[in-house]
Amino acid sequence: MGDHCSERRIEIDAPPEVVWDFIADFEGWAEWNPLYVKTTGRAEPGERIHFAVKLEGLKPSKGSATVTAAKAPELLEYTMSNAGGLLKVRRYIAVEEISPTRCAVVNGESMSGPLAALVCRAVGHKVTKGLEGMNKVLRQIAELKWMGRPDEF
């Protein structure tokens, strides 16, 4: 669906299940996630989630989305429609097992609709930086939890 506007991959020295616990806990995102400064809702297909996203240099932007996939510990996906349906956005976070104690996270966003190319050009670089920031902190907290040091984050 649509063009990949932005995607970032990171490897994490923790099992997919440990990483998934952080990804699937929307309510806890605000505690660690620099991109999503406020999030409510449950990671279950059909559920509505509400959030505030903070892109570099911009005020937090509020939105809502529908969870379209929540397949532990592999894939979380949600979609939103903006501008009267002229822009559709699909966000996904995929976890790929490398070994029982190491995984890769692919965090991305694709857009479709008449406004997709314009919006992607306008904010794509900021989205990419946001995804990178989210991935880095996710790696840090998941590795600390896996090493038994969750109090350090």
Q: Which domain holds residue 61?
A: 3-152
Q: What's the pLDDT score for residue 5?
A: 84
Measured between alpha carbons, how far is 133 from 54 in angstroms, rounded to an integer?
A: 11
Q: What's the pLDDT score for residue 1?
A: 45
Q: CA 67, 153, 6, 127 torsion: positive or negative?
A: positive
Angle at 130 between CA 34 and CA 119, to 5 degrees: 135
Listed as ranges, residues in the chain with pLDDT below 70 are 1-4, 153
Provide the token pair at 6: 């932005």
Q: What's the pLDDT score for residue 2?
A: 57
CATH number at residue 71: 3.30.530.20
The total number of structural domains in the chain stands at 1
SS3 52: strand
Q: What's the pLDDT score for residue 83?
A: 78
**Distant-in-sequence, close-in-space partners of 52: CB < 8 Å, separation ≥ 6:** 36, 37, 38, 39, 60, 61, 62, 63
Q: What's the pLDDT score for residue 4?
A: 65
112-137 pLDDT per residue, tens: 999 999 999 999 999 999 999 999 99
Measured between alpha carbons, how far is 54 from 46 in angstroms, rounded to an integer?
A: 25
SS3 122: helix
